[in-house]
Amino acid sequence: MLDLSPQEAEAIWLSLKVAGVATLASCPVAILIAYILARGRFFGHAALNAAAHLPLVLPPVVTGYALLLLFGRHGPLGAFLAEHLGLVFAFRWTGAALAAAVMSFPLLIRPMRLSFESVDPQLPQAARSLGAGPLAAFLFVELPLALPGVITGAVLGFAKALGEFGATITFVSNIPGETRTIPVAIYTFMQMPDGDRGALRLSLVAVAIAVGALVASETLQRRAGVRA
């Protein structure tokens, strides 16, 4: 087993927490937007699609700077949330989760949208003709059939959130125990004369977590496909 230092273990736990919160917070929004993009035909469809995928093509530093302007302590959204809800993002782990959620969002959207597009639209129509409402038809017909794509998107989003670096360090800096996730910790170790071993250990841990997530995703997809 790897002999992890307290700082390394702290970075691992923080990364798992940040990636988990980012993925859980992103999934409902991603499912909704993916469904709208798959089924909707309306003015602004292309604009919505572009906005959903924008973090994928923007430099992460630009995304992080935009988050700092919007959600910083003096930003319009950051000041409002801090004053009325007591929710602070700048230089907090919550900000790291927000940055990870934004950067991973396009990777959630794509497989979810493709999965919804593969569902025969006549199936929810048949459910509605039998008395089911639009929400019931979505929850009990379309969503279960699209579940493999939803799982794939969630796992890809988690993996991306786990490895997010540029937007995170720009938005919330490098604070031990608060915003120093695995990628930021690896970067920190690489700047130290004797930090090679720490960077290697955390890199191995990151690879192990990513592989484990992919294996779990494959297993869950197969089970979801069988049930569907």
Residue 65 lies in a domain: yes
Considering only CA atoms, which of 2, 10, 27 is closest in space to residue 155? 27
Give me the number of domains the chain comprises: 1
**Distance, CA of 49 to CA of 154 (rounded, Å):** 18
Residue 141 lies in a domain: no
| Tokens 């923080």 sit on residue | 14
Helices (H) and strands (E) in the chain, counts: 12, 0
Residue 124 lies in a domain: no
| pTM of the complete model | 0.89
Domain that holds residue 97: 6-118+148-227
Residue 30 lies in a domain: yes
Residue 123 lies in a domain: no
**Distance, CA of 40 to CA of 76 (rounded, Å):** 31
CATH code: domain of residue 19:
1.10.3720.10
Over the stretch 122-142, which tens digit does the pLDDT of each residue have? 888 888 888 888 888 898 889
Residue 143 lies in a domain: no
Over the stretch 73-102, which tens digit does the pLDDT of each residue have? 888 998 899 888 888 898 999 999 999 999
| pLDDT attached to residue 132 | 82
Over the stretch 34-45, which tens digit does the pLDDT of each residue have? 999 998 888 888
Residue 134 lies in a domain: no
Residue 71 lies in a domain: yes
